[in-house]
Structure 1
Amino acid sequence: MLISELVHQIEHYEIRNFKEDFEIKSIAYHSKKATLNSIYVAIKGFITDGHKYIEDALNNGAKAAIVEEFVDVNIMQIKVKDSRRALSLISDIFYNSPTKKMKVIGITATNGKTTTSFLVETILRNTDIKTGLIGSVMNKIGDKIEIAELTTPESLDLQEKFYNMHKNNIDTCVMEVSSSALELNRVADVDYDIVSFANLAREHIDQHGSFKNYWMAKSSLIKNVKEEAVAILNIDYDMISSLKYNTRADVITFSINGNKADVSCKNIELVGGRAKFRVIIDEDIKFKNVNIGKDEFDVELNIPGYHSIENAMASICIALAFGVEKEIIIKTLKEFKGVERRFEFIYEGDYIIIDDHFANLKNINSTLESISYMDKNKFHIVYAIRGNRGPTVNRENAKALISWKDKLGIEKIIATRSVGNVTKKDEVKPIEEEVFREEILNAGIPLEIHDTLYDAIKKAIDEVQKGDIILLAGCQGMDMGAKIALDIISKKEIGIDKEKLFDPIKRRITEIDRIM
């Protein structure tokens, strides 16, 4: 594509230093990735301003720059209102709009995006559909897997992944859509066929500035989707339910709390931490591209946790809207083993160890609620204090733990700074530890804080008794917790089958240190 052809397709204010037309060879938003005849997009980021590196991009071969303000560099400059928005558009154009040539399913929620996307991708794969997956754990193009750096990649990288999917004959991509991606226009030019919004809670307030801004970002996925799309909405949340009247898409609603919805569930049981329930489709659901008949069927989940019902119901609705037979859905739900660090049972012997990423208040409360339904003797928690999240998040997390003190019989909290198991960025600051300590001790709960993850987990395993539950709780600081716990058990339990013991973490993406 010629630069003159591209300029005509993007909204711009003014062009300076145009010398000659040229064929665009690549796009870069990092100056070091600029090459001969590339366009460099200068983005004002949270840490630095890409406009500072336009000359570096020029020296690396860039022949034009998209800017929000002109700079004193002898390179063709195209001034736009929003460089991020422009990056999304030109990336889509450069890769010839790949999402218009395949089916794309976009999944958003405060919690459960990862589990739901993995579950939907597995259901579709079980129908012999060639699938791609984009999310916070990994990106997958057919059988090729790479570790994810962002929940939703930057728009240029995202469109390149879509292009490679289409080139490899991928029929459908299932992707997590984060609030950051929506706010920063990373997905502005993705052509979604099905979108889902399964739950909503306070999260990322520090990033978005307010809950209102967070909601505006999240809800834009539903509000801006095309008329031919289908939107799956959980009407147990009033704000999500209101989107029925604020989208051009056809809407399928679901509920797990008995609200009147297109798809609902009843007879919920939790057996050994895993749910059984009956799915009810009260009436035929017919749209231009959807035909779901009135029906009832029973579902058993292999993944544990009460909150898994919500993820399963969103997945069921997406699969039904996609035209998947209920028998395949039922079979997949019964066999699906879950996603790493999402209420994951990593050890089930005389006692149970559960690993959970404990990402935000809703996640914390959902996890602890699920444990409250489980049969147990004593409950032990090993908590990785959240580094790089500030005092507010750590105070809120401490209060959430305290609120379950009586119901779960929390007698002590073992916490860790995870020294040696987190990057410098995620190290726990003194103020973060201080507010957590203050809240827990003021609630009258004994607290032990260990430097290392190993010492904290070993303490819990040394104290555990038959019939107890240990919860390994935390985000980056607990990523290696499961492996450490199983290493400790392998040395403590003489004669244990180590092959079987380590089976739960063998396929973990966090164990992969290179692209497969």
Structure 2
Amino acid sequence: MRLSELTGCLPFYEIKGPESDPEILKVCHHHQDVEPGSLFTAIKGEKSDGRFYIDKAIEKGAAAVLSDTEYDLSVPLIIVRQPRHALAYIANHFYDYPSFDLNVIGVTGTNGKTTVTHMVQSILESQGLKTGIIGTLYMKQGDRVMKAENTTPDSLLLQQTLSDFRAEGVQAAVLEASSHGLAQGRMYGCDVDIAIFTNLTQDHLDYHETMEHYKWSKTLLFSQLGHAHMKNLPKFAVLNHDDPFSGEIAAATSAHIITYGLTPEADIYAENIIQYKESTSFTLCTPYGKADIQLKLAGLFNVYNALAAAAAGFVKRIPIEFIVKGLENLTGVPGRFEIVKHDGSFTVIVDYAHTPDSLQNILQAANKMNPEKLTVIVGCGGDRDRAKRPVMARIACQFADHAIFTSDNPRSEDPKKILRDMEKGVHGQQYTSIEDRRAAIRYAINNASAGEIIIIAGKGHEKYQIIKNEKIPFDDKSVAESFLNKSQLENGVDLPN
């Protein structure tokens, strides 16, 4: 489309440079992606500034540039005050508003987003609805899987992906809405039909700085649901009745509200909960009836996740038998309480738990499995919220028999310093610190006893470890398997130097 048509979606802008109206064939915000006929949006990011690459973009054939700064250019320059917001509007317009042709379900909260999105996808597909998923693990539709750089893609990639979904005949899209993504406006212009809130605990304070800002960002998903109340296009907010923050969300949205929880005060609730070693059973209670569910996932937190997904199915008028089928069909999510298969007499579980609340949840779930001993390997990320480090350590020592502190993604920080921050929370308690993550996993496995459960927490599905500015291949599950698959495990291995 012509530049004038593309910028028509912007309410205010100033145009400088040559008086021309070029054909725009592509929109991009990385200069490496520029091709002849592109609109290059020069945005200042956290790590780099796109404005530094305007000349390179023009050399590669950019037909126009969008920025918040005035330059003397050989191509038309669109000047806006908020280029990140403008990009969201332009991307939506360029791809012809794909979210309006899909049923979009957004999931936000500190923990559980990935599992809930997969549960919702399974429920929708159990009724034959072709569904795409966007989140921490990947962007996926059917057999087509694309790598995810962020939990919530930037606005351009999000609209492009939704457009691809639409072209492939997808009927519904389930996506994780991160606090970063919401605060940065990545979902501006995205027509969400159902918004789900899982829970809220401390996280990402390195970015948000305060819990108030973190809460505000989560609330955006619900305040932006719209106010039209169109008869055939109702909007729904699915809220965790047992989380106090749901009250604030309810006050911020005009959408229809449905709640879920563990008591009959919620609209959708569970009763007769029985937790097993690798599964959970409960009775799903809805305003339209009850049904027994055999969930192939362990932990009370997964009952909450299942209730959230069931509530989304309920407001979409999916019959309860298909909700049950969808939940029971899901056998697991990569890196979420994932049991590493082996022939030994002990259990190894990999989990993404990297917040105090999620760590406590998985340790409590593991204790429900009645282990002879519970060991947890846990670290904290560098260049991230330091306040949660001693808290994580305290939870590890409180809920596990043996806590092993190690590196997570140290990034630019000294791993020893991160361990010292953790150790400040457990003075006088028993723990083991092993800086090298591979050595920590080896030590735990080689010293495991019959009936023991080893939780490897923090990285889950991640296939790398970030040390300095380098991503080094590292997969907790594969590393554990490399030691578990040895013909004979060593016993009583000394601590590595």
Which residue in 2 is equivalent to 1:327?
Answer: 321
Amino acid in structure 2 at the alignment position of 1:231: A
Which residue in 2 is equivalent to 1:265?
Answer: 270
Q: Report SS of the residue matched to 2:245.
A: helix
Which residue in 2 is equivalent to 1:157?
Answer: 157
Q: Is the 8 A contact 1:266 1:279 kept in 2?
A: yes
Match of 2:441 among 445, 457, 468: 457
Residue 117 of structure 1: how far off its partner (Å): 0.5
Which residue in 2 is equivalent to 1:351?
Answer: 346
Q: Deviations over 1:67-99 (max 9, x none)?
A: 112134343222212111100100010011111
Cα 1:450–1:79 change in 2 (3 A) is closer
Match of 1:414 among 386, 404, 407: 404
Q: Counterparts of 1:216-227 in structure 2 under 5 Å?
A: 216-226=216-226, 227=229
Which residue in 2 is equivalent to 1:118?
Answer: 118
Q: Tell me the distance in 1 between the aligned counterparts of 2:75 and 2:417.
A: 47
Residue 380 of structure 1: how far off its partner (Å): 1.5
Q: Report SS of the residue matched to 2:51.
A: helix
Q: Report SS of the residue matched to 1:482.
A: helix
Q: Is the 8 A contact 1:142 1:170 kept in 2?
A: no
TM-score norm. by structure 2 comes to 0.89
Residue 150 of structure 1: how far off its partner (Å): 1.0
Match of 1:302 among 296, 303, 328: 296
Q: Which moved more, 1:247-256 or 1:158-167?
A: 247-256
Q: Is the 8 A contact 1:12 1:80 kept in 2?
A: yes
Q: Tell me the distance in 1 between the aligned counterparts of 2:309 and 2:82.
A: 35
Cα 1:444–1:425 change in 2 (3 A) is closer
Q: Report SS of the residue matched to 1:254.
A: strand
Q: Is the 8 A contact 2:268 2:311 kept in 1?
A: yes
Which residue in 2 is equivalent to 1:287?
Answer: none
TM-score norm. by structure 1 comes to 0.86
Which residue in 2 is equivalent to 1:279?
Answer: 284
Q: Tell me the distance in 1 between the aligned counterparts of 2:412 and 2:349.
A: 23
Q: Note if 1:399 corresponds to 2:394.
A: yes
Q: Tell me the distance in 2 between the aligned counterparts of 1:15 and 1:352.
A: 63
Q: Report SS of the residue matched to 2:297.
A: strand
Q: Note if 1:236 corresponds to 2:242.
A: yes
Count of aligned pairs: 471
Residue 273 of structure 1: how far off its partner (Å): 4.9
Residue 187 of structure 1: how far off its partner (Å): 0.6
Residue 112 of structure 1: how far off its partner (Å): 0.6
Q: Is the 8 A contact 2:270 2:283 kept in 1?
A: yes
Q: Which moved more, 1:86-95 or 1:480-489?
A: 480-489
Q: Which moved more, 1:271-280 or 1:203-212?
A: 271-280
Which residue in 2 is equivalent to 1:433?
Answer: 419
Q: Report SS of the residue matched to 1:132.
A: strand
Which residue in 2 is equivalent to 1:210?
Answer: 210
Q: Is the 8 A contact 2:203 2:355 kept in 1?
A: yes
Which residue in 1 is equivalent to 2:429?
Answer: 444
Which residue in 2 is equivalent to 1:249?
Answer: 255
Q: Is the 8 A contact 2:41 2:67 kept in 1?
A: yes
Q: Give unpaired runs (5+ residues) of structure 2.
A: 466-473, 490-497
Q: Tell me the distance in 2 between the aligned counterparts of 1:366 and 1:84.
A: 37
Residue 102 of structure 1: how far off its partner (Å): 1.5
Considering only aligned residues, what root-mean-square deviation do their CA atoms show, in Å?
2.1
Percent identical residues: 29
Q: Deviations over 1:117-150 (max 9, x none)?
A: 1111122122222111111001112321122111
Residue 428 of structure 1: how far off its partner (Å): 5.0
Residue 450 of structure 1: how far off its partner (Å): 4.3
Residue 318 of structure 1: how far off its partner (Å): 0.9
Q: Tell me the distance in 1 between the aligned counterparts of 2:114 and 2:341.
A: 22
Q: Give unpaired runs (5+ residues) of structure 1.
A: 284-293, 495-516
Q: Report SS of the residue matched to 1:307.
A: helix
Q: Counterparts of 1:359-374 in structure 2 under 5 Å?
A: 359-374=354-369
Cα 1:269–1:169 change in 2 (3 A) is same
